[in-house]
Amino acid sequence: MAQPARPRAAKKPAPASAKASPEASAKSGTGSTGETALPQGGVAGDDASFALRSLQQAHANNKRFDASDEQLLEFYEQMLLIRRFEEKAGQLYGLGLIGGFCHLYIGQEAVAVGLQSALTTGKDSVITGYRDHGHMLAYGIDPNVIMAELTGRGAGISRGKGGSMHMFSTEHRFFGGHGIVGAQVSLGTGLAFGHKYSGDGGVCMAYFGDGAANQGQVYESFNMAALWKLPIIFVIENNGYAMGTKVSRGSAETAFYRRGTGFRIPGMDVNGMDVLEVRQAAEVALEYVRGGNGPVLLEVKTYRYRGHSMSDPAKYRSREEVQEMRENHDPIDGAKAELLKRGVTEDKLKEIEKAIRARVGQSADFAESSPEPELHELYTDILVEQY
């Protein structure tokens, strides 16, 4: 005989309320300015209080961070340190002192410096992918231990066991350094979960690429981060390419700042070649996130001058394209020009350049001369405890 009856859940769900609760109450002061002025795309248009583009508007109203001369000088120094460090790393790779994959951050310096200068080291957290040297330097981590990790020495920040892609500094709350594209987005969301859970007031900044932005776990994380109003800033470093794939060949929606719309995450479109614009965007985003409103998505438009990794011939783009970015949009040149305009002398800048070269040279010497890990290290750090 056929199954006579079929079970079903006893309790019918209460009818869903017709409208999602308005978010207006949660908006911070900067939040609601421009919403009505913007054309409604129809998607969020039926909910006037839902201000997806309000942060963008706040950013547009006041694009550049009002940096003091000292601040700008500091940003300049940090960016220059990253540039020179990466150039040196490229040289050491060529000499065979660095092996495996090595992804340089040259061209993207303003992103890490602009954003991380707005964070509180030790309270907020940062996580990124394998292109991680710049984020570490921007957080003030000692170049010696970074370079020594690149050369696989015992004095490296991961004792030589991680390499270029896998570096961490829990002291700085810098959580890596991850080789699997997209993984850091869920992990960062977990760090943000921890900030909220423990009420420590911290915010997580999770960086990922335009290519990584297509991984499924990114959207699973977006949903949970927004649902639970987690304190996280998702940063898409859109450098135009994922390995050899130009953004338009890999993404149906190339305006990445819109990628959070379906999860009610406000997005911002940021010029990543100007450190002050990046910093200002961080200010806007942080105010919103620290206000308990949940995540923000920053699309920071930038450019990598070098190949994807050291072994990429980068035939998928023209020399002219790279040249154009270098000559007309370089973040370091831009900061330098502004410093000169503000009256900082050429001599002062030369002095800085010299000091940074010396610092980087010193890190390379350290990385070359310090010994490889001791052999017994092969078997340490697998598990924490003994069983």
Ligand X SMILES: Cc1ncc(C[n+]2csc(CCOP(=O)(O)OP(=O)(O)O)c2C)c(N)n1
- Where do contacts with other proteins occur on this chain (CB under 8 A)? 1-11, 99-101, 149, 152-154, 156, 158, 160-166, 178-182, 211-212, 214-216, 242-245, 249-251, 316, 372-373, 375, 377-379, 382
> Partners of 267 in the beta sheet?
297
Q: Tell me the residue nearest to ligand X as measured from the CB.
A: 209
Single residue of 160, 190, 209, 295 touching Mg ion by CB under 5 A: 209
Contact 62, 334 (CB under 8 A): no
d(CA 107, CA 217) in angstroms, rounded, equals: 28
Per-residue binding string, ligand X, 67-106, x by CB under 6 A, is ----------------------------------------
Per-residue binding string, ligand X, 173-192, x by CB under 6 A, is ------xxx-----------
Residues 67-96 that bind Mg ion (CB under 5 A): none
Cα atoms in the 13 Å half-sphere on the side-chain side of 214: 14
Contact 184, 208 (CB under 8 A): yes
373 binds, among ligand X, Mg ion, other proteins, none (CB under 5 to 8 A by kind): other proteins
Single residue of 221, 239, 280, 293 touching ligand X by CB under 6 A: 239
Which token pair is 185?
A: 């987005």
Torsion sign, CA atoms 327, 299, 169, 138:
positive
Amino acid at 27: K
- 184 counts as binding Mg ion under rule CB under 5 A: no
Find the radius of gyration of the CA atoms of the chain.
23
Which token pair is 6?
A: 């079929």
Per-residue binding string, ligand X, 242-261, x by CB under 6 A, is xx------------------
13 binds, among Mg ion, ligand X, other proteins, none (CB under 5 to 8 A by kind): none
Single residue of 151, 239, 271, 293 touching Mg ion by CB under 5 A: 239
Residues 118-157 that bind Mg ion (CB under 5 A): none
Phi, psi of 98 (to 5 degrees): -115, 140
C-alpha separations of 343 from 6, 67, 133, 168, 351 in Å:
81, 14, 31, 38, 15
- 210 counts as binding ligand X under rule CB under 6 A: yes
Single residue of 160, 163, 190, 209 touching ligand X by CB under 6 A: 209
For the bound state, the minimum distance from the C-beta of residue 9 to ligand X, rounded and expressed in Å, comes to 38
319 binds, among other proteins, ligand X, Mg ion, none (CB under 5 to 8 A by kind): none
Which token pair is 277?
A: 């614009």
Residue 192 or 218 with smaller CB distance to ligand X = 218
Residue 171 or 372 with smaller CB distance to other proteins = 372
131 binds, among Mg ion, other proteins, ligand X, none (CB under 5 to 8 A by kind): ligand X
Which token pair is 386?
A: 């003994």
- 308 counts as binding ligand X under rule CB under 6 A: yes
Residue 180 or 355 with smaller CB distance to ligand X = 180
Which token pair is 266?
A: 């406000």
For the bound state, the minimum distance from the C-beta of residue 157 to other proteins, rounded and expressed in Å, comes to 12
> Partners of 270 in the beta sheet?
300
Contact 213, 266 (CB under 8 A): no
Give the position of tokens 């981590």: 141
Residue 75 or 130 with smaller CB distance to other proteins = 130
> Partners of 204 in the beta sheet?
125, 232
Residue 325 CB partners (closer than 8 Å, separation 6+): 107, 273, 303, 305
Contact 293, 323 (CB under 8 A): no
Binding site for ligand X (CB under 6 A): 131, 179-181, 209-212, 237, 239, 241-243, 308
